[in-house]
A and B are shown apart, each in its own frame.
Chain A
């Protein structure tokens, strides 16, 4: 067992600083992980509030509260902030806290760079959110930023582009840090194939980030020069092509959706074995499945563009590669279910979230398969079916596994148990409200309701009202989450080193909360 009382440790480092400076100048992976998580929680509520406004407007047909231009700002900023402000930073927060603890490293490989990766986020967030208050309002062309619409807007468009540049710098530096930590700082004996699956998913995610964030930077730089420096990248008159932006964007964008889901897979693959009290079924195949999904993510991008138009050969290629993703994903779902088989399962809050993830993410995966079919996709492009699909993968996929992960590791991070009863209420309200909100959207989309509109035809009224009611309940339920987290940070029953009897990764050998500097000398993994 590792103990913090080793005299060598006490002298190795400066003691923990306190107050304001502890947070702004931190080089500690735990503090920086905490900062990431709080930042993402704030952004989650901010972008969630935008979603509440969207659902309020859509509660009834007709223009209720907002002008269409502002409604478009709401949908655009909701998407952008949820993706870049809430989901990605929270997963990096998990990586910061957990990767060093799970591989027995003293900290991240580049602790100062780690701090910069975080503190760039508030800078970028300030730029992005303040764009609501400039002349012309925030960006309104959708989070995908397609030209020519995106070339025509006001200063908010430039602010958002530059904000995304800063977010990209943060992501790339964060990813370099994580990948280096995993490759170079594993404890002796921790071979790659002994790493917890969460670490594996982050190794591959970090690779994806380094490969595709620069491509996004390219694409939005071209937008900027088309806007202000007279280039014609996306203007057919000058020999450019607006469709080229879509290719570049989705070459980033499709790996990006796996960047948001792979670490979530890692969290779920950690939670399920713990509460099934069995080792993860098919560990090696899980690793290969994650790697295959990452590889395939580079050759499916144009399935977002079937309706844009492309040669038949292109449509067939991207349709088949997209459907291929179902195979490694199916391997994963099979392994999660097989892990449960004959396990002695208990249903604590993290486990509930993980099980709901398997079920609901599978629905999102299946609707993705439906959308992979070119003829169907051309019918469903830009309808609420697509909205339903990506909320099943992003909310009940990423966001709910993040919540499960928070409940799972909160006792380790704070040293206190959260309120289990409240956690379960939060889980059930979230799951039920989520389905009330987004399941009817499948029907709306199949019936032809387009997305990103503030007003709609009368026949869509009932399902929209149901979705809005579900949405308000979903939003309100998250306040329970916030309350539970804050209460857990402030106090609660002592967690002990290993509150979950089925957990066997390295972090549970540490105290709860772990010492400020853990694993200063690496443990030896047998």
Chain B
């Protein structure tokens, strides 16, 4: 009824200790963070320990994957798995950000007018965005969308272009274009983060200033964190490109990071429109 196909076998890796190391790291990080939040002195040390273990795990695990990749253990089918895996991972990130965007829209469109309607509680409160809410008595000066944020939009969009240019270089075997494109992308990413840090420093409100401050810093903060992560990933790809790990045909690691970078880019556009501009 069934017969053997003669295709390549799917690579099933040998036993690995890294997942367990990663779990220990996350347990230490989470326990340390809980202690830190509740002012136990052991908290920061436990977190540092967890972070250290996590870094060792990341180096070990990704190192193993790179070794296996270079040894040619990944068939086309494994490559397709990586593509599906990365696509679904990005989908989960989309879901993560839509939660925070949902909170922003809910606060502005539903909660704000309802609070303004509560005449008995807060007769002077009007639903005008940006708002720190009826109870805090804070007048907010929002960040001007057409200052640093517009510049950052330009920077991030350009970085999307440079990473694509690097990809063209890789596909056409132009190593210099690949490395230059990656370096430019990383540079633009770092520039974006620096400007974002500067903007945080200049901003006239904090995360404690009502719902506007909360949604602003939560959305831009998580986005900034993702840009940082993307920049680190791009740097790894840069060093791998320098080491000549990629061929014109097989370079999914590069593509995965490029996908991620474009995703971060799209999130920024939404942030620019809904957090800074409108």
Query: Which positions in A face B, CB cutoff 8 Å?
Result: 1-2, 6, 8, 12-14, 17, 21-22, 24-28, 105-107, 109-113, 115-116, 118-120, 122-123, 126-127, 154-155, 158-159, 162-163, 165-166, 169, 172, 175-177, 179-180, 183-185, 188, 210-215, 217-219, 221-222, 224-225, 227-233, 235-241, 243-244, 247-248, 251, 509, 517, 520-526
Contact = CB atoms under 8 A, between A and B. Distances in A.
Contact of B22 (A116, A228, A235): A116
Contact of B26 (A12, A111, A120): A120
B19 to A, nearest CB: 3
A180 B61 CA distance: 20
A23 to B, nearest CB: 10
Contacts of A211: 91-92, 95
Contacts of A212: 95
A177 B37 CA distance: 33
Given A110-B81, A112-B13, A215-B99, A236 B93 contact: no
A310 to B, nearest CB: 10
A169 B92 CA distance: 10
Contacts of B92: 172, 176, 210-211, 213-214
Contacts of B110: 241
A240 B26 contact: no
A147 to B, nearest CB: 13
Contacts of A526: 1-2
B115 to A, nearest CB: 6
B119 interface: no
A111 B16 CA distance: 10
A135 to B, nearest CB: 9
A123 B95 contact: no
Contacts of A26: 15
Given A119-B20, A233-B214, A248-B103, A176 B89 contact: yes
A127 B207 contact: no
B218 interface: yes
B214 A27 contact: no
B4 A110 contact: no
Interface stretch (B131-139, B141-149, B166-174): B131-139
Shortest Cβ-Cβ A-B pairs, 7 listed: A237-B135, A239-B133, A218-B99, A116-B19, A239-B211, A230-B208, A214-B96
B27 interface: yes
B111 A184 contact: no
Interface stretch (B28-36, B230-238, B240-248): B28-36
A120 B24 CA distance: 8
Contact of A120 (B15, B23, B33, B214): B23
A25 B15 contact: yes
B277 interface: no
Nearest to A177: B85
B41 interface: no
B218 A524 contact: no
Nearest to A14: B14
A232 B214 contact: yes
B37 A228 contact: yes
Contacts of B102: 215, 218, 247-248, 251
B12 A111 contact: yes
Given A215-B95, A236-B135, A522 B84 contact: no
B100 interface: yes
B208 to A, nearest CB: 4
21 contacts: A22-B15, A27-B16, A112-B19, A119-B22, A166-B27, A175-B88, A179-B88, A184-B77, A213-B92, A214-B96, A215-B95, A217-B99, A232-B132, A232-B133, A232-B208, A232-B210, A233-B107, A237-B133, A238-B135, A239-B115, A241-B107
